[in-house]
Chain A
Amino acid sequence: MSTKKILDEKLLQETLKSCESPAPDEKAKDKAILLALEAFDEEQVIADKKESQEKTQGFIEKDRLKGISEVEPQFNKPFNIWRRIMDKKFILGGMGGAVATCAILIMLGGPVALYKESINTGAMSSDVVLESIDKEVKKVSVEKTLAEEDSSLNQSNSYRNEKSETIAEPKAMDWRNTRALKESRTSTFSDMAFNNTVSNVREQRSRSSAPSVVSGSDGIMMEETAIAPAPPPPYYSAMPLVSTPPYDIMPYNHEIVDNDEFTGFKNNSVKVVTVDPVSTFSIDVDTASYSFMRREINAGNLPNKDSIRVEELINYFNYNYPVPETRVNPFKETIAVYDSPWKQGNKIIHIGIKGHDIDKSEKPKSNLVFLIDTSGSMHSQDKLPLLVNSMKMLVESLEPNDTVGIVTYAGSAGIALEPTKVENKHKIITALENLRSGGSTAGAAGIRTAYELINRNFDKEAVNRVILATDGDFNVGMTSHDKLQEFIENKRKSGAFLSVLGFGKGNYHDNLMQKLAQNGNGNAAYIDTLNEARKVLVDEASGTLFTIAKDVKIQVEFNPRMVSEYRLIGYETRALNREDFNNDAVDAGEIGAGHTVTAIYEITPVGATENRLVDDLRYNTKTIKVDTVPNGGEYAYLKMRYKMPNEDNSKLLSRPITTVDTIKFDELSDDVRFAVAVAGFGQKLRHSKFIGDFSYDNIMSIAKNAKGADEFGYRAEFINLVRLSKVYKP
Chain B
Amino acid sequence: METVQKTNKQEEIIRHAMNGDRDAFAMLIEENYNRIYAISWKFSGVKEDAEDIAQDVVIKLARVLRSYRFESAFTTWLYRLTVNTAKDYLRSKNRHTTREMPLKEEIIAIAVAPQDKKLEINEILMEVDKLPAKQREVIILVCWEGFNHKEAAEILGCAETTVSWRLYEARKRLAKLSGGDE
Interface of A toward B, CB cutoff 8 Å = 1-3, 6-7, 9, 12-13, 15-25, 28-29, 31-33, 35-37, 39-44, 47, 81, 84, 89-93, 96-97, 100-101, 104, 141, 144, 146, 194, 197-198, 201, 408, 411-416, 439-440, 442, 445, 449, 476-478
Q: Report the Cα distance A442→B97, complex, angstroms.
A: 14
* Residues B35-60 near A (CB distance < 8 A): 37-39, 41-42, 46-52, 54-56, 58-60
CB distance from B120 to the nearest CB of A (A): 6
Which of B75-83, B109-117, B151-159 binds A? B109-117
Q: Which of B16, B47, B58 contacts A92 (CB 8 A)?
A: B16
Residues of A within 8 A of B61 (CB): 36
Beta-carbon contact of A414 and B96 below 8 Å: yes
User: A41 vs B125: C-alpha distance in the bound complex, in angstroms?
Assistant: 40
**Which residues on the B side are within 8 Å of A3 (C-beta)?**
175, 178-179, 182
A1–B55 touching, CB < 8 Å:
no
* Chain B residues with a Cβ under 8 A of chain A: 9, 12-13, 16-17, 19-27, 29-30, 33-34, 37-39, 41-42, 46-52, 54-56, 58-63, 66, 93, 96-100, 102, 106, 108-114, 117, 120-121, 123-125, 127, 139, 142-144, 146, 167, 171-172, 174-175, 178-179, 181-182
B100, B109, B125 pick with most chain A CB within 10 angstroms: B100
Min CB–CB distance B113 → chain A (angstroms): 4
> Chain B: which residue is nearest A22 at the CB level?
B110
**Pair B97/A414 contact, Cβ less than 8 Å:** yes
Q: Which residues of A contact B16 (CB under 8 A)?
A: 91-92
Contact, CB under 8 Å: A16 / B124: yes
* Docked CA distance A79–B55 (Å): 23
Docked pose: A141 CA to B28 CA in angstroms: 11
In the assembled complex, 26 residue pairs joining A and B whose CB atoms fall closer than 8 Å, in A order, are A1-B123, A1-B124, A6-B174, A7-B175, A13-B146, A15-B124, A16-B124, A18-B113, A20-B111, A20-B113, A21-B112, A22-B110, A23-B34, A32-B58, A33-B30, A36-B25, A37-B22, A37-B62, A40-B62, A42-B62, A92-B23, A412-B99, A412-B102, A414-B96, A440-B51, A476-B51
C-alpha spacing A18/B119, complex, angstroms = 12
The one of B63, B102, B125 that contacts A43, using a Cβ cutoff of 8 Å: B63
Most buried by A among B144, B171, B172: B144
Set of chain B residues within 8 Å of A146, measured between Cβ atoms: 9, 12
Closest to B26 in A: A37
CA distance A478 to B42 in the complex (A): 18
Contacts of A9 in B (CB 8 A): 142-143, 167, 171
The closest CB in chain B to the CB of A140 belongs to B23
Residues from chain A with a CB closer than 8 A to the CB of B167 are 9
Q: Is the interface of A mostly helix, strand, loop or mixed?
A: helix
- Expressed in whole angstroms, the Cα–Cα distance for A81 and B23 within the complex equals 10
Taking the closest CB of chain B, its distance from the CB of A548, in whole angstroms, is 35
Given A6-B175, A411-B48, A414-B99: A32 in contact with B33 (beta carbons within 8 A): yes
Q: Which residues of A contact B26 (CB under 8 A)?
A: 33, 37, 100, 104
Would you give the shortest CB distance from B171 to chain A, in whole angstroms? 6
Cα distance, A477 to B49, chains bound together (Å): 11
Closest residue of chain B to A435 (Cβ to Cβ) is B96
The 3 closest A-B pairs by CB, nearest first: A414-B97, A39-B62, A36-B58
- B58 vs chain A, min Cβ distance (A): 4
Residue among A2, A21, A412, A440 having the largest count of chain B Cβ atoms under 10 Å? A21
B178: A residues at CB distance < 8 A: 1-3, 6
Residues of chain A with a CB closer than 8 A to B96's CB: 414, 416
**Would you call A32 and B51 a contact (CB within 8 A)?**
yes
Q: Evaluate whether A415 and B97 lie within 8 angstroms (CB atoms) in the complex, with A7-B171, A15-B117, A21-B111 already known.
A: yes
Chain A residues lying within 8 Å of B62, measured Cβ to Cβ, are 36-37, 39-40, 42-43
A219 to B182, CA, bound (A): 71
- Smallest CB gap from A29: residue in B: B33
Closest Cβ of chain A to B178, distance in Å, is: 5
- A40-B62, A201-B55 are known contacts; what are 6 more A-B pairs with Cβ within 8 Å? A13-B143, A22-B111, A33-B58, A35-B55, A97-B23, A146-B9
